[in-house]
């Protein structure tokens, strides 16, 4: 069981962001004054760079990126400095779900902004959780977004496996993240270094449908604009504005 973390900051914005992120993860934490005493059993302390000098505790994390800081704090609270194998499971989609496992133990779960953002999050996981070996497992579904993810990872030289993700989706509020955990624990086949990215007709229709919703029924973007969205070159909002400009 993880030891409770401590939040020690009088920076209101940082406090708010930390508490929201910790509660979203269901993690136990305590709020302590930066110069106060920490109860026995405290795993690690999260604070700001300006306040770190007055925190008297052996395991202190200075918060830059809140999610990365919490990930590092969890590792310190578990008394781990290094892992044998780090596996990142990815459930492909427009906003892929990621799960990080160290030696079979779930360490972190979060959503990427888009398929290409997965490479940044994998890089962060490797930095937050030092390991002898890092591998990435990506679910085989949603071919267009899957291939975008693999291509982005290939640029950084990551070893990627493609995992059959049938049966990984569960009816929960965090189904993409839950699926990512299952994918991380699965077994796959090595991915090719690079894949073609060509959206299907069904994917283009779905993006066009979302453009109608996003424009409140005012318009439907063209198939070519939908293709640019599918390839990550435009957001739906940008495609809608571009379509408006051509009318």
* For residue 79, pLDDT beyond 80: no
Tell me the per-residue pLDDT of 183-223, one tens digit each, with 9 for 90 and over: 999 989 999 988 999 999 999 999 999 999 999 999 999 99
The pLDDT value given to residue 76: 83
Q: Can you give the residue ranges of every domain in the chain?
A: 5-77, 83-190, 201-246
Among 84, 120, 119, 90, CA closest to 102? 84
For the 83-190 domain, the top CATH level (class) is: alpha beta
Cα–Cα dist 244/222, whole Å = 11
| pTM, to two decimals | 0.78
**Do 159 and 136 form a contact (C-beta atoms < 8 A)?**
yes
**Distance from chain centroid for Cα 148:** 16
Cα–Cα dist 111/95, whole Å = 6
Q: Which two tokens stand for residue 123?
A: 């890089």
């Amino acid at each position: 069981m993880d030891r409770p973390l401590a939040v020690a900051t009088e920076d209101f914005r940082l406090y708010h962001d930390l508490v929201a992120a910790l509660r979203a993860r269901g993690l136990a934490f305590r709020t302590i004054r930066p110069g106060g005493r920490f109860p026995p059993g405290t795993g690690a302390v999260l604070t700001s760079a300006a306040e770190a000098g007055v925190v008297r505790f052996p395991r202190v994390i200075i918060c830059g990126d809140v999610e990365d800081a919490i990930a590092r704090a969890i590792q310190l609270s578990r008394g781990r400095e290094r892992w044998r194998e780090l596996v990142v499971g990815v459930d492909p989609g427009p906003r892929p779900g990621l799960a990080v496992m160290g030696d079979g133990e779930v360490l972190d779960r979060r959503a990427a902004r888009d398929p290409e953002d997965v490479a940044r999050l994998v890089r962060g996981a490797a930095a937050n959780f030092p390991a002898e070996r890092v591998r990435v497992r990506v679910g085989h579904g949603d071919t267009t977004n899957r291939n975008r993810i693999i291509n982005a990872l290939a640029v950084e030289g990551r070893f990627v496996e493609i995992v059959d993700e049938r049966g990984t989706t569960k009816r929960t509020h965090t189904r993409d993240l839950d699926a990512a955990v299952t994918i991380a624990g699965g077994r796959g086949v090595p991915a090719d270094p690079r894949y073609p990215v060509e959206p299907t007709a069904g994917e283009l229709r779905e993006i066009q449908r979302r453009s109608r919703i996003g424009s409140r029924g005012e318009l439907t973007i063209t198939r070519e604009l939908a293709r640019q969205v599918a390839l990550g070159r435009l957001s739906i909002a940008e495609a809608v504005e571009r379509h408006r400009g051509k009318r």
